[in-house]
Structure 1
Amino acid sequence: MAPKRQSPLPPQKKKPRPPPALGPEETSASAGLPKKGEKEQQEAIEHIDEVQNEIDRLNEQASEEILKVEQKYNKLRQPFFQKRSELIAKIPNFWVTTFVNHPQVSALLGEEDEEALHYLTRVEVTEFEDIKSGYRIDFYFDENPYFENKVLSKEFHLNESGDPSSKSTEIKWKSGKDLTKRSSQTQNKASRKRQHEEPESFFTWFTDHSDAGADELGEVIKDDIWPNPLQYYLVPDMDDEEGEGEEDDDDDEEEEGLEDIDEEGDEDEGEEDEDDDEGEEGEVKENLAKPTKITFKEFTMLFWSFIYSVVELTRTDCGKKVSHFVVQELRKCLISTWY
């Protein structure tokens, strides 16, 4: 196909078309008069607002229905929560292990916090009758060297105006055991910058009511840990995993050393085997070079076996291609062997 001829003249620019003449509606709009479609748009916006109000009303109704269902099943779940608490009580250090294995809770735990939580025997989360109004978390402790309380509780409330608030049990610390007020010596070891700050502690949570609406720890315990604490209790200890990993690395290094020794021995044995293989291959070649004659009976049996194989192969498309190749090769073999 011949290439297109290019015109020697430069391309001419198209002249811009003049703008269309304004109609009477547009002329009136440019003069500041209202457009004809503005009234329709305003009416459409008002109708959309009415429809949206109906959607919002249904959403609120759905939320009320969901809360009723949630309250119903909260009551149904209570016997199972009670049974679970009874079983957990048979496992020593269940709750401290669960808290330590949880990434957000463990960030608030110091060594002394963990020691104190070893005396924690039961945790309960109770949502109020109107679950929109709030919930309470109770921590039950055995006799311990840190405080006198048997139960520590923290409640979260949401009043009618929607403002959150919280209140908690006052912890009755034993002399010199207040974990929310560490000694200055401990603070200096931790960080000089925080020398005059109160160090964070799990038990500081019971006295912090500054922002009840953003209480992450309460939400984590209620929504993440309480529904299924077993999943965090069964999380393997990372220190144990690291120790096992180091042992595995040592074992791997030992195995690699043994493999190197075995490879050296295999190389020596391989050289001997190569000499033997060369001798065997020579014998096989000599036997193949010798012509072999067969009887007519043997040829007949071989021929019918061959026919049967071909029939079986031709049942599939792939078999047809293979059988054709086998027929040609076997034919050459039979002719050379018979004659």
Structure 2
Amino acid sequence: MAEIDQAAIEAVQDQLEVIANETEKVELELANKRYELMLPIFEKRRKVIAEIPNFWPTLFKLNDGTSQMLEEADHPIIDHLTDIWVKHDPKDVRNYEIVFTFSDNEYFTNKELIKKVVLNGDEQTAEKFTINWKEGKDVTKNSKRKKDADESSDSFFSWFADDDANLADYIANQLFTEALHLYMNGGEDGDFELESDDEGSVDLDDDEEDEEDDEPSKKKNKK
């Protein structure tokens, strides 16, 4: 079997880095342009989805990726979810926020729960968001971080208080963008499964290669 010529690679390392940087720049430009073109389509889709009763609660509970994050106590809260919207920075789509809109409910006073993701250097991190729980209704209390298949996972709403960008990435770039397709397909998304690392952080891994990813490559947050 032929061996890689490491010396030859090292000799042109600076040129390879230039090419890599140029590639990343073009990929970002393409992703920004794609968002610009898709935005009016998503806005039109938003109006259609609003006419389907319980669209987002149904999808959230059926979808492979998000259903695994829900505890039993989360389900009646998710029933109040009326809209999910993703706002990207048009100059750099790697910066975005996910807006979850809820109807009036007995659990918290927020009308919107927002998860904002920002690019810090080479990594994306999710900013913490405070949920204003009503007295005695905080389902995140006494919850435990999922570390293995035998332990119960956190409430989905615990995620708003940490900096996990993996789930945000999945919701923004898979659940949201493919919402109608996933809904029509019964929420099934066989490409993704929920895993946890040794430190208990949640990860959503794609079983398939990422070769056809439309977004520029994203650096997962490290804890």
TM (norm. structure 2) is 0.70
More helix per residue: 1
Which runs of 5 or more residues in structure 1 are unaligned? Answer: 1-43, 188-192, 239-339
Cα deviation, residue 163, structure 1: 4.5
Other-structure match for 1:179: 139
Of 162, 165, 172 in structure 2, the residue corresponding to residue 208 of structure 1 is: 162
Cα deviation, residue 237, structure 1: 8.7
In the alignment of these two chains, the number of paired residues is 178
- Judged with a 3 Å threshold, the aligned counterparts in structure 2 of structure 1 residues 132 and 49 are, in CA distance, closer, same or farther, namely farther
Q: Distance in 2 between matches of 1:164 and 1:83?
A: 29
Other-structure match for 1:134: 95
Q: Distance in 2 between matches of 1:235 and 1:129?
A: 30
More strand per residue: 2
The question of whether the paired residues in 2 share the 8 Å contact of 1:125 and 1:226 is answered with yes
Deviations along 1:211-265, one digit per CA (max 9) or x if unpaired, are x4xx332121122111111222223499xxxxxxxxxxxxxxxxxxxxxxxxxxx
The question of whether the paired residues in 1 share the 8 Å contact of 2:71 and 2:153 is answered with no
- Judged with a 3 Å threshold, the aligned counterparts in structure 2 of structure 1 residues 199 and 49 are, in CA distance, closer, same or farther, namely closer
Cα deviation, residue 100, structure 1: 1.2
Deviations along 1:133-158, one digit per CA (max 9) or x if unpaired, are 52211101111111111010011112
State the AA in 1 paired with 2:87.
T
Other-structure match for 2:206: none
Other-structure match for 1:278: none
Does 1 or 2 have the higher relative contact order (CA < 8 Å, sep 6+)?
2
TM (norm. structure 1) is 0.47
Cα deviation, residue 48, structure 1: 4.4
Q: Distance in 1 between matches of 2:34 and 2:187?
A: 34
Which runs of 5 or more residues in structure 2 are unaligned? Answer: 1-5, 145-149, 189-223
Q: Tell which structure's C-alpha radius of gyration is larger.
A: 1
Find the residue that maps to 1:125 and give its secondary structure: strand
Other-structure match for 2:192: none
Of 92, 105, 121 in structure 1, the residue corresponding to residue 66 of structure 2 is: 105
State the AA in 1 paired with 2:130.
E
Of 124, 130, 137 in structure 2, the residue corresponding to residue 170 of structure 1 is: 130
Higher mean C-alpha deviation, range 107-116 or range 130-139: 130-139
The question of whether the paired residues in 1 share the 8 Å contact of 2:83 and 2:100 is answered with yes
- Judged with a 3 Å threshold, the aligned counterparts in structure 2 of structure 1 residues 164 and 70 are, in CA distance, closer, same or farther, namely closer
Other-structure match for 1:60: 21
Aligned identity (percent) is: 33
State the AA in 2 paired with 1:203.
F
State the AA in 2 paired with 1:216.
N
Question: Aligned runs of 1:14-25 on 2, under 5 Å?
Answer: none
> Which ranges of 4 or more aligned residues in structure 1 deviate by more than 6 Å?
none
Find the residue that maps to 2:12 and give its secondary structure: helix
